[in-house]
Amino acid sequence: MSESLISIKIEELEEGGYLATSNILQGLVAQGRTIAETMEIAQDVARKHIESYIVHGDPLPFEIEPSRKVIRDVKIPINETI
C-alpha cells in the first residue's frame, strides 16, 4: 500500500456545507456538512479515482506526489463550542 498527496480546494457553500474539488484529479467532487467530513469524503473519492487509473493501466497525473514521512505545517479547523 502506498500513499500519495494531492491538492484540493474547499469552498463554503451558500446553502450550507462545503464542497471540495481538485484541479489534479478531474472529476473529484465531494460535499459534506463540515470541513472534516468533506475532506474525508474527498479522500475516499480520490482513492477510488487513483485505483481506477491503476486498474485500467492509465498513467497517474504527474502532479500527484508520493507521500514522504515529513511533517508539514498545516492549518486545521477548530469549531468553538463556547
Model pLDDT for residues 20-78, shown as the tens digit of each residue: 999 988 889 999 999 999 999 999 999 999 889 889 998 888 777 766 665 666 666 67
Nearest of 69, 68, 50 to residue 60 by alpha carbon: 50
Give the integer Cα–Cα distance in Å for 49 and 54: 9
Q: Would you state the pLDDT for residue 53?
A: 86
Third-level CATH fold of 4-66: Double Stranded RNA Binding Domain (3.30.160)
pTM of the complete model beyond 0.95 = no
CB 41 within 8 A of CB 30: yes
Give the whole-angstrom CA distance, residue 78 versus residue 81.
Answer: 9
Question: How far apart are the C-alpha atoms of 36 and 43, rounded to whole Å?
Answer: 11
